Amino acid sequence: MRLGISARAGLGILALTVLLAIVGPFFSPWRVEQLDWARMAAAPGLAAGHFFGTDRLGRDLFVRTLAGVRVSLSIAGLATLVSLVVGVGYGALAGYAGGRIDALMMRLVDVLYSLPYVFFVILLTVVLGRQPTTVFLAIGAVGWLTMARVVRAETLRLRSLEFIEAAVAAGVPTPAILWRHVVPNLAGVVLVYATLTIPGLILLESFLSFLGLGVAEPAASLGNLLAQGAQEMESAPWMLLVPCVFLVTTVLALGFVGEGLRDALDPHER
Amino acid sequence: MHSIPMSAEPLLAIRDLSIAFGGGTVAVEGISLALGRGGSLGLVGESGAGKSQLALAIPGLTPRTARRSGSIRFDGAELIGATPAALRKVRGARIGTIFQDPAAALAPHLSIGTQLAEVLIAHGLARGAAARHLSQQVLERVHVPDAAARLRQYPHELSGGLQQRVMIACALIASPALIIADEPTTALDVTVEAGIVALLAELTGGGTTALLLVSHDLAVVATLCDEVAVLYAGRIVEQGPARAVLRAPRHPYTAALATARLTLDSALDAPVAAIAGNPPAPGERLRGCAFAPRCPRALSRCAREAPPLVADGATRFACHAPLPAGTAS
């Protein structure tokens, strides 16, 4: 499999970002929730180790942004994993079963799709409180819906292929057909779609945290950093710019990787 | 493995089978056929005559939207209305199926050994090293050279002829009583075809495995089958011993099929004796004989009343104006 230039660049940038998010904090004397009473809303510089400056309360933005990247990426990554497992299982089952079972299962997906999402998240936040787990649940609850639709459509196509019919004709039991014949042939579509899902979910997490429905202070996520930065946009633009740059870079890099994978796995879609 | 039933019931007995799709499309209608243990039966006809649908209906492989009525008795058990679990146990173990295009019918992502073993595992016949051993044996039976090494290869690494041999091995590995071969040589090169036909003759000639062969190639049917049934527009128009039917057809359609062939010694500029016109569309039901509009011998009553299947000697045919017995085409 050959990836294009942009996909390889995206992969490199992504690897660098993740590496920085993990090892970066070791190079800073500051911790995520630590206040520097002497330097509030300080501009970026090497003085006192505030590489990206500080926020209104004197917390180090370098450490907080990297923590935000970790939180946002892991929520999006975990939710994608969940959508992978649930979506592939659900979609493959519906597509292979066909008929009335398929119709019923897909109507349930339609119903979940049409729930007013923000309202659902507010309810969840009220019940569970504002914490990363809530955001993860809120995102996971909808993340698998599109995956299930994509997988079902692909399974419908696979089911009509002759080698699946040959497996049926050989008396292979249905679970074995699903697991050994259908799922391996879904891998390409699923991999590409999952790579394209992560940036969407990062944006969704940021959106929820920006609205104050997601990850709560003092924990950091890209979304709530952006929300704080937006308030100081005129006096201290770095508070908005720093998390912005990280968000845009990560999402773009993931997008390039996804596009590259799609081209590499499906030459017809160019 | 199975005890032979006491009665003289044939291995496969199809009675008054009809297959219809939604919207009134009828694939086959009123088919009755029998196939004895170790026997061989060829189904011939043009594309769309319903011969593949008929063959695939036996192990219940018709599309879900198809409605089957009538009776298919196999080895003393009724297959129409059988539970999915019961059908699954018959498929592969008692009825092996060979598909037309081995390149499409072999799973591209599984090795040959895995696919052969899958059949054994599915029916609880063997697993692990025993399955590998049996897989190698069956590959040797279908004359795949270097069988042990082939087990580790993937379908795309084999030639079309070898792929079809592997497909046959998959159908054969559980020692079924019946093998259904749906146009087994159509997707292959002519040079490879002869080898596959010889292999099928060798495997089914022993009298233990029955063969139901679907083909539009009369020469292949004549080589492999004792009996033949000619289908036109979903109905049997003529059936009987393959040799007699193909040498001296009674139904004008069989006669036309037999002449509409190119052979090596036909002159290059001689016109092909194609059958004029087209078979009726799948949804179209004619009141009289379905072949009447294309038939050179059609009488006026042919368009009005459908001819019943009547017996004359060993053959049965459905025609108001049959060719005289003993005419070679």
Q: How far is CA B53 from CA B28, B57, B59, B60, in A?
A: 8, 6, 11, 10
Tokens 């591209």 label which residue?
B108
What average pLDDT does the structure give for chain B? 86
Provide the pLDDT for residue A172: 92
Provide the pLDDT for residue A108: 93
Residue of A nearest to B170 (CA): A170
Provide the pLDDT for residue A68: 86
Provide the pLDDT for residue B329: 44
Cα B175 to Cα A80: distance, rounded to the nearest angstrom: 46
Cβ burial A166-193 (10 Å sphere, 16+ → b, else e): bbbbbbbbeeebbebbbbebbebbbebb
Numbered residues of chain A with Cβ closer than 8 Å to any chain B Cβ: 98-99, 161-163, 165-173, 176, 180-181, 184-185
Terminal Cα-to-Cα distance of chain B (whole angstroms): 45
φ, ψ of residue B100 to 5 degrees: the values are -65, -50
Is the distance from CB of B134 to CB of B126 less than 8 angstroms?
yes
φ, ψ of residue A119 to 5 degrees: the values are -60, -45
Cα B204 to Cα B224: distance, rounded to the nearest angstrom: 9
Tokens of A184: 């391996």
Terminal Cα-to-Cα distance of chain A (whole angstroms): 15
**Fold classified for A5-32+45-269:** MetI-like fold (1.10.3720)
Cβ-nearest to B109 among A99, A171, A184: A184
What is the Cβ-side half-sphere exposure of residue A159, based on CA atoms within 13 angstroms? Answer: 20
Cα A40 to Cα A33: distance, rounded to the nearest angstrom: 14
Provide the pLDDT for residue A240: 83
Cα A47 to Cα A253: distance, rounded to the nearest angstrom: 31
> Best interface-test mutation with B: which of A168, A185, A186 has the largest number of B CBs within 10 A?
A168
The crossing angle, in degrees rounded to 10, of helices A183-210 and A61-97 is 140
Reading chain A (270 residues) residue by residue, the pLDDT tens digits are 577 888 888 889 889 888 888 888 777 777 777 777 777 767 777 777 777 777 777 788 888 888 888 888 888 888 888 888 899 999 999 999 888 899 999 999 999 888 888 888 888 888 887 777 888 888 888 888 988 999 999 999 998 889 999 999 999 998 999 999 988 888 888 888 888 888 888 888 888 888 877 777 777 888 888 888 888 878 878 878 888 888 889 888 988 888 888 777 765 544
Q: Is the CA virtual torsion B240, B242, B248, B250 positive or negative?
A: positive
Per-window interface: B 44-73 vs A, CB < 8 A: 59, 61, 64
Rounded to 5°, the CA angle A192-A194-A197 comes to 115
Q: Is residue B315 scored above 60 in pLDDT?
A: yes
Residues B251-300: tens digit of each pLDDT:
999 988 888 765 656 666 766 667 777 788 766 677 788 888 888 888 88
Residue of B nearest to A159 (CA): B63
In chain A, where the domains are located: 5-32+45-269
Determine, for residues A171 and B89 on separate chains, whether the beta-carbon distance falls below 8 Å.
yes
Is the distance from CB of A155 to CB of A92 less than 8 angstroms?
yes
Cα B191 to Cα A238: distance, rounded to the nearest angstrom: 75
Provide the pLDDT for residue A269: 45
Q: What's the gap between Cα B39 and its chain centre?
A: 13
Q: Which residues of A touch B109 (CB under 8 A)?
A: 184-185
Is the distance from CB of A170 to CB of B99 less than 8 angstroms?
no
Cβ-nearest to B105 among A166, A172, A180: A166
Provide the pLDDT for residue B1: 44
The pairing of strands B12-20 and B235-241 is: unpaired
Cis peptide before A218 (omega within 30 of 0): yes
Is B119 an 8 Å CB contact of chain A? yes
Q: Is B64 left (phi over 0), alpha (psi -120 to 50) or beta?
A: alpha
The crossing angle, in degrees rounded to 10, of helices A132-159 and A183-210 is 150
Is B124 an 8 Å CB contact of chain A? no
3 state SS of A37: coil
Residues B43-93: tens digit of each pLDDT:
998 887 888 889 999 998 888 788 889 999 998 899 988 888 999 999 999
Residues B11-32: tens digit of each pLDDT:
999 999 999 887 778 888 889 9
Beta bridge partners of B20: B26, B67
> Strand runs (DSSP E) across chain B, as ranges?
12-20, 26-35, 40-44, 67-74, 77-78, 95-98, 178-182, 210-214, 227-232, 235-241, 310-312, 315-317
Rounded to 5°, the CA angle B40-B124-B35 comes to 15
Residues B139-190: tens digit of each pLDDT:
999 999 999 999 999 999 999 889 999 999 999 999 999 999 999 888 888 8
Cα A74 to Cα A198: distance, rounded to the nearest angstrom: 10
Is the distance from CB of B295 to CB of B221 less than 8 angstroms?
no
Cα A74 to Cα A82: distance, rounded to the nearest angstrom: 12
Chain B nearest C-alpha distance from A160 (Å):
10
Higher pLDDT, residue B213 or A136: B213
What is the Cβ-side half-sphere exposure of residue B196, based on CA atoms within 13 angstroms? Answer: 30
Q: Which residues of A touch B170 (CB under 8 A)?
A: 166, 170
Provide the pLDDT for residue B261: 67
Determine, for residues A166 and B59 on separate chains, whether the beta-carbon distance falls below 8 Å.
no
Q: What is the DSSP string of B81-141?
A: T--HHHHHHHBTTTEEEE-S-HHHHS-TTS-HHHHHHHHHHHTTS--HHHHHHHHHHHHHH
| Residues in CB range of B115: below 8 A, 6 or more apart | B106, B107, B166, B170
Q: Which amino acid is located at B90 in the chain?
A: V
Tokens of B316: 């049965």
Number of residues in chain B:
329
The pairing of strands B227-232 and B235-241 is: antiparallel
Q: Which helix (H) or strand (E) holds B297?
A: none
Residues A135-185: tens digit of each pLDDT:
888 888 888 898 899 999 999 999 888 999 999 999 999 899 999 998 888
Cα A91 to Cα B80: distance, rounded to the nearest angstrom: 30
Indicate yes or no: pTM above 0.80.
Answer: no
> Best interface-test mutation with B: which of A158, A160, A162, A182 has the largest number of B CBs within 10 A?
A162
